[in-house]
Chain A
Amino acid sequence: MKIKFHQTARRLKSTFKTLILLVICLGASENLEAQSKKVYEKEMPVAKGVTIETNVPTDLGFEMHGTMVNDNTKDRYIVSGKNGDQRLNISKELNIHTWDKQSIKQEVTIDAHLEDNASAKALLESLKIEFNGNANGHVVIDANMNIKKFRMNNGFLKSDECYIVLDNGRKHKINRIEIKTVLYIPKGANLSIEGKRNCTILLDDLEGDLELILSYAEVYGKSVNRVKGNLNYCYNVIFENVNHAEINAINSHIEIASVKHLEVGKQKISNRCLAPSVQKYMKSNSFQNVFNIDKVEQLSVLETANDEFNLKEVFIMDVLESAYSQYRIDVLHNVLNFSAKNSDLKIMKVAKGFREINLNNTLSEIYLDVEDGASYMLNIPSKNYLEYDLNQKFKAIENASGSLKSYEVGEGKQKGVIYINCDKCQFNIS
């Protein structure tokens, strides 16, 4: 009986040892993985005046089922699995450097963790940079090389299963991948950037044209010759110097230090920026944006509704169609033609050498502070309901028609003209 008990105990002990060994082996095999890091580079000569089209790194396709955590920090887009392990880490920044060389170059750094060395080798060999041409003769760059999709699924009894799917349909099982992209393009090239998911674009000086078709993006540019922006919910679009800018935007924040000619709301924002469900509500070309411009030589507002303009210095300004927008101008130098409805206007300083302010508006508050020493005529149609008070410097002038009340200020030879046709408005001038 005693011997039998010992035999059973020994058998149990040995079985237990085997089990422990198995568990250790399994655990070890789980932790074993191959890490491979590689920098892919490709440079290709391009013709002068070439147009380059690129997407953004975060435009990678996603297919995810199960538990995941997304950490969308300022510079990284991270997807973690059910236990909080990082599975995908994309640098949100797309650095676009411009150079004097007549070639384009893409640099992509891949840091991949896979189950074994053979899988890592197979993945790194399958990845490649391709520069394709499209029907318009443009060079097309994919910020994520030939990676089309990141696929992850997990479940209650299933740990994270992650794959990278390439453009040829081939799948590679991965544990984790990190991607960072940098582009180099000729200074004189034209560039078009399209992206729908959060990203940050950092752009050097560009002498060619820049087209932005972006949603939820930030853009930090320096000097750009021409920029056309289709911007949907772009939190920061900031440039230093622009020759000509056309901005059609929704709920975006645009900041330019100096721009020669800025056109706002010339046409409707591209549908490529919008979800199909909201396209039917697009009635205005530009709305709910904030424009902070330090210096603009010519501002043309073609159609705006409920935008906010903060302009430090403007020389010539034409507002053709504006509803419910607000304008605050620190200094107006020369001419303002303003045709609007329900659009408040506040000019902190009208320079004494100004030529003309021609204002047609309704239901608004108008404030003009004209610089001391300015000579000008102020004309106000009698038909309108306008609340205003004029101090002693405004000398009433007899007007033959009677439909216009005219006042004169200053005694200089060269006179500016202010015409305020605003019904149901409050007008303040000093």
Chain B
Amino acid sequence: MNKFEKYIQENKQKLEPDQIDAKVWLSIENEILRKSKKSYSFFIKTLAAAAVILVGTLLMYGSLFKPKQDIEARLIERYNLGEYKFTQQVSLKEKELSTLSIPKDKLADFQILLQQLEFLNGQFQDYTDYIEQNGYQEFIGNQIINHYKSKIKLLDKIQSEIEKINYYENKIPSNSEKVEINI
């Protein structure tokens, strides 16, 4: 042990400060925190930028955030099917039908026609899925036109059957509660 080491050993108590100044500690702690915040905020900013790019890409190329009910309107507009005024006809007929009601005891028989309406809607969904996967193709456009013609014909049929039921209901009331068919 040399002289210097011996001196340190002997005067160790005197050389060490009794208490570290609290201000010093705080400033040290704040400095550490500031550095850590700096790196944390950099991480957040990078993540946010990546998220913005991802969302932008999805909005540009996909229809992830487009509601399903918009698909019909977009198809009509995109592929010039608007001239047929299909959607207007369908919504007008559906609106008319929504105000009509039939005796509850006739509702079960009516399900056959309502299920056919669901079938047509399911078929339309299949067409839109096809277009999203493979792009628009003219034969799908023809099938969509055919779909609308069938749907309009079916809605007309439903309306005429409701009128027929209610014609006889007025002649010979069944006393059955009247219910809406909920199209």
Contact = CB atoms under 8 A, between A and B. Distances in A.
Contact of B134 (A64, A288, A306, A363): A64
A363 B164 contact: yes
Interface string A383-409: 001000000000000000000000000
B137 A324 contact: no
A327 interface: no
A339 to B, nearest CB: 14
Main secondary structure of the interface of B (DSSP, over half): helix
Interface in B112-168: 112-113, 115-116, 118-119, 122-123, 125-126, 129, 134-139, 142-143, 146, 150, 153-154, 157, 161, 164-165, 168
Contacts of B137: 70, 72
A72 B125 contact: no
Contacts of B112: 283-284, 305-306, 323-324
A116 interface: no
B20 interface: no
Given A233-B146, A281-B115, A424-B172, A70 B122 contact: no
Contacts of B116: 281, 284, 287-288, 305-306
Contact of A197 (B139, B150, B153, B157): B139
A216 B139 contact: yes
B171 interface: yes
> Most chain-A Cβ atoms within 10 A of its Cβ — which of B109, B112, B125, B161?
B112
A278 interface: yes
Interface in B99-120: 109, 111-113, 115-116, 118-119
B139 A70 contact: yes
Contacts of B119: 250, 278, 281-282
Nearest to B164: A363
Given A68-B135, A278-B123, A233 B143 contact: yes
Contacts of B126: 275, 277-278
Contacts of B154: 288, 306
A278 B120 CA distance: 8
A144 interface: no
Interface string A268-286: 0000000101101111100
Given A275-B126, A277-B126, A324-B157, A288 B150 contact: yes
B139 A323 contact: no
Nearest to B165: A363
B150 A275 contact: no
A198 interface: yes
B139 A306 contact: no
A281 to B, nearest CB: 4
Nearest to B123: A278
Contact of A275 (B123, B146, B157): B123
Contacts of B172: 385, 424
Interface in A308-348: 323-324, 341-342
B33 to A, nearest CB: 47
A75 interface: no
Given A283-B112, A341-B109, A306 B157 contact: yes
Contacts of A198: 139
Contacts of A284: 112, 115-116
A62 B134 contact: yes
Contacts of B109: 323, 341-342
A342 B135 contact: no
Contacts of B136: 70
Contact of B168 (A67, A250, A283, A385): A385
Interface string A67-85: 1101110000100000000
Interface of B: 109, 111-113, 115-116, 118-119, 122-123, 125-126, 129, 134-139, 142-143, 146, 150, 153-154, 157, 161, 164-165, 168, 171-172
8 contacts: A70-B137, A275-B126, A281-B116, A284-B116, A305-B116, A323-B109, A341-B109, A385-B171
Given A235-B146, A277-B122, 4 more contacts: A284-B112, A323-B109, A363-B161, A424-B168
